[in-house]
Amino acid sequence: MILIIAGPSGSGKTTIGTLLAERLHWPFADADSFHPPANIEKMRRGEPLTDADRWPWLHAISAWADERNAAGESAVVTCSALRRAYRTALLEGHPDTRLVYLLTDRGTLRQRLAGRHGHFFPPGLLDSQLADQEVPRGEPDVLVVTPQPEPTDTVTEIISQVWPSGPPR
């Protein structure tokens, strides 16, 4: 199984994804590592990504997930997956993939981004992400979670919702 932890920048994808992968003893991949250098430079300059920028990145994440599935491995990967079309592309034809969308309010996102240092995504790009965001509503294989103040509580909530009888061993 592949679990995709999604949401806008600052929603806690990396923190939650890392903790979830550790708890499940699964490999973890951060979506930022799939961006081509041109995307990173564009964001560093404060320029929002376009669909043309995002589709190759989404395909790279999907290919990585396909490789894990083909090898019979489970894994956790992050990806903003802001639009329904992006989530559909990541999930369609992948029956062993689930997406957890971290729904976080603008004020919390701004606060987290302001406190983050050394990352290529500047806080000024948040508004462009929120303008692109299509909050999941009734999408198959998509779970919407509001992150708790304590990340481990969010991980526990995700596990209990994805595996009501307990996580895989």
**CB distance 61 to 105 below 8 Å:** no
**What is the domain extent for residue 77?**
2-162
Task: With respect to residue 169, please indicate whether it lies within any of the assigned structural domains.
Answer: no
In this predicted structure, what is the pLDDT of residue 118?
58
Task: With respect to residue 146, please indicate whether it lies within any of the assigned structural domains.
Answer: yes
Q: Which stretches of the chain drop beneath a pLDDT of 50?
A: none
List the beta bridge partners of residue 101: 6, 144
CATH, residue 8: 3.40.50.300
Task: With respect to residue 168, please indicate whether it lies within any of the assigned structural domains.
Answer: no
Order of all β-strands in the sheet with 142-145: 28-29, 75-78, 2-6, 97-102, 142-145
Task: With respect to residue 90, please indicate whether it lies within any of the assigned structural domains.
Answer: yes
Question: What is this structure's pTM?
Answer: 0.88
In this predicted structure, what is the pLDDT of residue 79?
92
Task: With respect to residue 33, please indicate whether it lies within any of the assigned structural domains.
Answer: yes
Total domain count, the chain = 1
How far, in Å, CA of 131 to CA of 83, rounded? 10
In this predicted structure, what is the pLDDT of residue 112?
74
